[in-house]
Amino acid sequence: MQADVMRRRLAAIMAADMVGYSRLVHADEAGTIARQKACFQDVITPRLQEFGGRLVKTTGDGFLVEFASSVDALLCSVSIQRDLAKDQSEQPDDQKIVYRIGINAGDVIEEDGDILGEGVNVAARLEALADPGGIHISRSVYRNVQGKLDLGFADLGELRVKNIADPVGTYKVLLDPSDAGKTIRSRSLPWRAILVAACTVGCFLIGLLLWDRSRLQPVRDVTAPRLLILPFQEQAGSAPWAEVVSENLWLTLVRAKSLTIVSREVSLELRGVEASPENLKDLGPITHVLDGSVARDAGGVRVQARLRQFHEGELSGLDQYDLTGPIGNEMQVLTALKTNISEDLGLRLSQPEREAVFATFTNNPAAFLPFAKASHLIATEHWNHIPVATKLYQDA
């Protein structure tokens, strides 16, 4: 009997996912579904048709599209993000329909109209790493579009993503028209340009690079707990404070020598995923899982979180935190959360570690979030990340 032959072909794959879908549906199920449907019909579908995209499937809060070329896939994605930003501009921040998009070019397998394979998986992983309203592309896509489009790119280097054996060369698409034609990476910039850029952020960046390396990469206790911090969920009116809390925890708790933090990149891939044993089993020897939510309105800020043990494939035990504070005291609430976590994990902190773990930052998300992301890039110690981090520091 002749074996079935799988149909393979090269394609450009767009994976998109709606930001905060669960939160929005919880707050207003009928209204959210209606608004999402209107956005898909009025904004997304016309662009897919314009650029020849084949809608493979929708997933409730996302969709998968196949293109014949990387150029069409990227032009379509940029058009969608810009159109959505304009369409949602008058909506409150916590009610906007916003998508993340990842694009990869690679081999796919067609089966009953669906497409499968590592090419699709990479696109989905890139989408999970993208900023809300942003686009991440693989190196294969970048090579296909380089010099052909009036866009800018930031080289994020080789990123390790879940269930993909080899690191994925990743680029962030710069949607600001002023960045058109730029590719921010060390090998494309002369050292003089890098030094000039560094000077624009003053001694701060230099100080960070020369900072006590034990704070950035402490020598770990081999018996230290290994903590997975899942991205905190947004409640109504809290955008972007859930992201602030998550980024702060990733940035500061990693400074404790008596604690190991699962990488931020892995955590971001689990955004919106239930912390079940089935979803955690492939992430290595995790001992604890932290997740939670943030609500912020005129009455103040509230952070709810839970810390659970993960042992022999089972989640057990539960430490719950419910912390509140007035507007303007967000960092104090976050400090209280980190105090509880440190005590419940039995962390042994030296004075320098304590200062780093409990460092206070600005209450301005527009300043803190670029700073946090730049700090994560600097901590990788990859020279090709310096220009990208410099631009983020400038944005902060």
Which domains, and CATH codes, for the chain?
7-184 (3.30.70.1230), 208-395 (3.40.50.10070)
Q: Computed from CA positions of residues 322, 328, 332, 338, in that sequence, does the dihedral angle turn out positive or negative?
A: positive
Report residue 193 as tokens: 């340009």
Q: For every one of its 396 residues, what pLDDT tens digit does the chain have, with 9 covering 90 and above?
A: 444 556 788 899 999 999 888 778 888 889 999 999 999 999 999 999 999 999 999 988 899 999 999 999 999 999 999 999 999 988 887 788 999 999 999 989 888 888 898 889 999 989 988 888 999 999 999 999 998 999 999 888 887 777 777 888 899 999 988 888 888 864 433 434 444 444 444 445 445 444 444 444 454 455 678 899 999 988 766 667 888 888 889 888 988 888 888 888 888 888 877 777 777 777 778 889 999 989 887 778 889 999 998 887 788 877 889 988 888 888 888 888 988 898 888 888 888 888 888 887 776 777 777 777 777 666 655 555 666 667 666 665
Task: Round to whole Å and give the CA distance between 119 and 109.
Answer: 9
Task: Round to whole Å and give the CA distance between 206 and 186.
Answer: 16
> Which ranges of the chain would DSSP assign to H, the alpha helix?
21-27, 29-39, 45-50, 70-87, 118-129, 139-145, 191-200, 203-209, 213-216, 241-253, 264-269, 277-280, 330-345, 351-357, 365-379, 386-395
Query: Is this model's pTM higher than 0.75 or not?
Result: no
- The DSSP letter of residue 96 is -
Report residue 323 as tokens: 């912390």
Look up tokens 């604690």; give the residue.
259
Q: What is the pLDDT of residue 194?
A: 42
Provide Rg for the chain, Cα atoms: 22
Task: Round to whole Å and give the CA distance between 288 and 316.
Answer: 9
Task: Round to whole Å and give the CA distance between 43 and 88.
Answer: 11
Q: Which H/E stretch holds residue 136?
A: strand 135-138
Look up tokens 């693989």; give the residue.
138
Contact by Cβ (8 Å): 126, 136: yes
Contact by Cβ (8 Å): 11, 67: yes
